Amino acid sequence: MRFSPAGLAAALMLAACGSAAENTPTVSSDVKLKLTPIVTEAEFPWGMAFLPNGDLLFTEKEGGLKYVAGGEGTPTSVSGLPPAYIEGQAGYLGITLDPDFATNRQVYISYSKGDDAANGAAIIHGRLSDDGSALEDVTEIFWADRRDTAYHYGSRLQFASDGTLYATLGEGFKYMEQAQDPKITHGSIIRINKDGSIPADNPFADGAVGNPAVWSYGHRNEQGLYYDAETDTLYETEHGPKGGDEFNIIRKGANYGWPKITYGVDYDGTIITDQTEAEGMEQPLTYWVPSIAPSGLTKLTSDVYPGWKGDMFTGGMNGPAGLKLVRIDMEDGKVAGREDLLVDEYPIRDVIQGPDGHLYVATKDMDGIFRVDLAE
């Protein structure tokens, strides 16, 4: 049978939809949820981090770093950040705390640095002042390879148990072919030390066949990252094109296939590749067709929500199947099913677990930050 380009695109999408349904069953639970606003003054919030005492830090794509005493209420601006390149998807992005924050008060932030002609995700760290009003002694520890687009920065940050820092780096959209080159940071996850130096056991540490900072490659736009200290496992979500969003376990030196393999097609329906798998390239634990634009990723380690302890949660920002919080039912390190929660309420940019064991979500636009409570 022969297909026109549009017909082939439709056929591939239907095939992918069938595969997605077979790949991960839909599950349901009796847990009912409601959203309780904790920060209403948040413009395009991007990343969140709770301090050990319950205070909240969050980034705004255009507004920089914000501080909320007590974790709820009106945010105040934190001074000291370098100027960001703000255009398209560029701005102030991911955030995480130093594992030793209780003693050193170090905060790590990813942001877009440069200009229209040459920009890339940069990572800085600085000491949060005792009153939370300023980031002091700010130091840049990494700046990704430059590009001339304002799209696909990745920029989630996670520390591992050994003190190394993982960061996601998107492929810059039009540079997708370079995601297959480990010598370039486009479409990669990097692993660096706290000061930006290279760990000796990185897969390309000697620089012979890959960039010394690169840990994995073949990614598209990774906006979810979670390190599970209990199992020493790094999980990631990334945007596909039209379909093909992925949830992956990240392995040292591994190639995740973009754009040589994908479960999606281009936005205009044209075929990027007819391959969904290939030798030497990793397969996702689960994927979404249609897209949800997954962003933010965390594991529930508390007992707040009955029966959900140990499951993973990611936000859905947009796309045909977005605007939701997705519970990924995990059993023995594998995906047993998926449940869509809070459907059509808000586009969710980030999700984390707070010190009280509750999940907290930041919306993509100007709706604010919410605690996920059990509904009566």
Q: Which of 152, 186, 219, 239 is catalytic?
A: 152
Cα–Cα distance for residue pair 57/55, rounded to 1 Å: 7
Q: Is 219 an active-site residue?
A: no
User: H or E segment at 23?
Assistant: helix 5-23
Cα–Cα distance for residue pair 168/221, rounded to 1 Å: 8
Q: What is the DSSP letter of 261?
A: S
Closest CA to 99 of 90, 88, 108: 108
Closest CA to 215 of 231, 204, 229: 204
Cα–Cα distance for residue pair 58/64, rounded to 1 Å: 8
Question: Is the dihedral angle over the CA atoms 326, 330, 333, 335 positive or is it negative?
Answer: negative
Closest CA to 242 of 4, 88, 12: 12
Write the burial class of residue 55 (CB in 10 Å: 0-12 exposed, 13-18 middle, 19+ buried): middle
Write the burial class of residue 6 (CB in 10 Å: 0-12 exposed, 13-18 middle, 19+ buried): exposed
Q: 3-state DSSP: the chain helix, strand, coil percent, rounded to 5?
A: 10, 40, 50
Two structure tokens written together for 176: 């997708």
Give the catalytic positions in this structure: 152
